[in-house]
C-alpha cells in the first residue's frame, strides 16, 4: 500500500467528529423523556425509523458524552417542522421536575414484558406521588405498550393519579364503621373545603381502610390516622 493510500485508509477508519455514540445509559436530566416525547409526534408506523435517525443526530450532538436536554432541544429547533415543533416545545415546558433516573431504575428493577406494567406504575406513583406524562412515555417505550393503553389504565383505575396531588392527599374511609363514628361529619367538612377555591386537598373516598377498630380512619399523605388523632389532624388541615 502506498503512503497516500495508507493515510486515506487510516482517515476513513477514524469516526467523523461528533459521530461517537451517546455513552451507554447516560441521559442527563429529562433528556430521555424529552427525546421520547419528541417521538410521540411521529405516527406509530414511522416511529422506529425516526427513532433510529434522530438517535444518530443525538449521538453526533453528544460527541460521545451523555445526552443532555440541550441536545434534544437543539434537534427539535433545528430539524422538526411546524406545527410539531410548537407542540413538542409546549410539552417540554410543562414537564414536571421528575427525576427520570428514578423512573428508569424502577423500570430496570422490573424486568419482563407487559405483565410488569401495573407494578411499575404503582412504584412510580409511590415515588412521584402521581404518574407524570414523561414517565408514562418512558414505560410505553421500554415495555412496548401503546401510550394510549397506559393512559387508559392510569385513568380508569382509582389507585392511579395522572395529576400531581395537592398539598394534602386525603383518603377518607366512608365505610359504615367509620361513618357512624364521626366519619360522616368529617367527610362532609372535607368535601366543603375541597369545593372552595384554592383548596390544597385532594380527597378520595374508600369503603374501608382495613382498620375499622380505629374509626374514623383517614390516610393523609400516606400516613394512617384513626380516632381522636384523625379528628385532630383533619381539624388542623381544615383550618389551615
Ligand atoms: S370501615 Fe373504616 S376502616 Fe373499615
Please tell me the distance from the alpha carbon of residue 88 to that of residue 235, in angstroms, as a whole number.
44
Domain extents in the chain: 16-93, 100-156, 168-238
206 band by pLDDT with thresholds 50, 70 and 90: very high
Q: What is the pLDDT of residues 126-147, one digit of tens each?
A: 888 789 888 888 898 889 898 8
- Model confidence at 5, pLDDT cuts 50, 70, 90, reads very low
Class (C level, CATH) for 168-238: alpha beta
Q: What does the pLDDT average to over 97-103?
A: 75
Which of 171, 172, 178, 218 is the pocket-test mutation for ligand 1 (most atoms within 8 Å of CB)?
178
Closest CA to 153 of 125, 115, 118, 119: 118
Q: How far is the CA of 171 from the centre of ligand 1 (A)?
A: 11
Cα dist from 223 to 15, 75, 126, 218, whole Å: 56, 44, 13, 8
Q: What is the DSSP letter of 226?
A: E
Give the pLDDT confidence of 10-38 residue by residue, as tens digits: 333 333 333 334 555 588 878 888 888 89
Pocket probe for ligand 1: among 212, 218, 224, 231, the residue whose CB has the most ligand atoms within 8 Å is 212
Is 101 a residue whose pLDDT tops 70? yes
Q: Are 131 and 154 in contact (CB under 8 A)?
A: yes
Q: What pLDDT shows up at residue 25?
A: 54
Q: What is the pLDDT of residues 163-192, one digit of tens each?
A: 877 889 899 999 999 999 999 999 999 999
DSSP 8-state code for residue 5: H
- Return the C-alpha cell found at 237: 388541615
| pLDDT given for residue 20 in this prediction | 38
The C-alpha cell of 98 is what?
421528575
- 212 Cα: distance to centroid of ligand 1 (angstroms): 4
User: pLDDT-based confidence at 48, cuts 50/70/90?
Assistant: confident
Task: Assess whether pLDDT exceeds 50 at residue 218.
Answer: yes
Give distance in angstroms: CA of 172 to centre of ligand 1.
9
226, pLDDT greater than 50: yes
Average pLDDT over residues 136-160: 88
CA–centroid distance, residue 199 to ligand 1 (Å):
26
pLDDT(2) > 50 = no
Output the ligand 1 site: residues, CB below 6 A. 173, 175, 177-178, 208-209, 211-212, 215, 217
Amino acid at each position: 500500500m502506498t503512503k497516500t493510500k495508507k493515510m486515506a485508509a487510516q482517515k476513513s477508519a477514524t469516526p467523523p467528529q461528533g459521530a461517537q455514540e451517546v455513552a451507554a445509559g447516560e441521559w442527563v436530566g429529562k433528556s430521555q423523556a424529552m427525546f421520547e416525547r419528541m417521538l410521540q409526534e411521529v405516527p406509530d408506523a414511522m416511529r422506529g425509523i425516526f427513532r433510529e435517525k434522530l438517535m444518530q443526530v443525538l449521538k453526533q450532538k453528544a460527541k460521545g458524552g451523555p445526552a443532555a436536554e440541550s441536545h434534544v432541544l437543539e434537534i427539535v429547533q433545528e430539524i422538526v417542522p411546524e406545527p410539531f415543533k410548537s407542540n413538542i416545545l409546549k410539552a417540554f415546558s410543562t414537564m414536571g421536575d421528575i427525576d427520570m433516573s428514578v423512573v428508569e431504575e424502577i423500570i430496570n428493577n422490573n424486568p419482563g414484558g407487559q405483565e410488569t406494567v401495573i407494578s411499575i406504575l404503582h412504584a412510580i406513583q409511590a415515588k412521584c406521588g402521581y404518574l407524570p406524562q414523561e414517565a408514562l412515555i418512558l414505560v410505553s417505550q421500554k415495555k412496548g405498550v401503546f401510550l394510549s393503553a397506559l393512559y387508559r389504565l392510569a385513568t380508569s383505575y382509582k389507585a392511579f393519579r395522572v395529576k400531581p396531588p395537592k398539598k394534602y392527599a386525603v383518603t377518607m374511609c366512608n365505610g359504615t364503621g367509620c361513618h357512624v363514628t364521626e366519619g360522616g361529619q368529617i367527610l362532609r367538612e372535607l368535601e366543603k373545603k375541597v369545593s372552595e377555591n384554592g383548596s390544597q386537598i385532594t380527597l378520595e373516598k374508600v369503603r374501608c381502610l382495613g382498620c375499622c377498630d380505629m374509626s374514623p380512619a383517614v390516610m393523609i399523605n400516606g400516613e394512617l390516622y384513626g380516632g381522636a388523632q384523625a379528628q385532630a389532624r383533619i381539624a388542623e388541615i381544615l383550618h389551615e
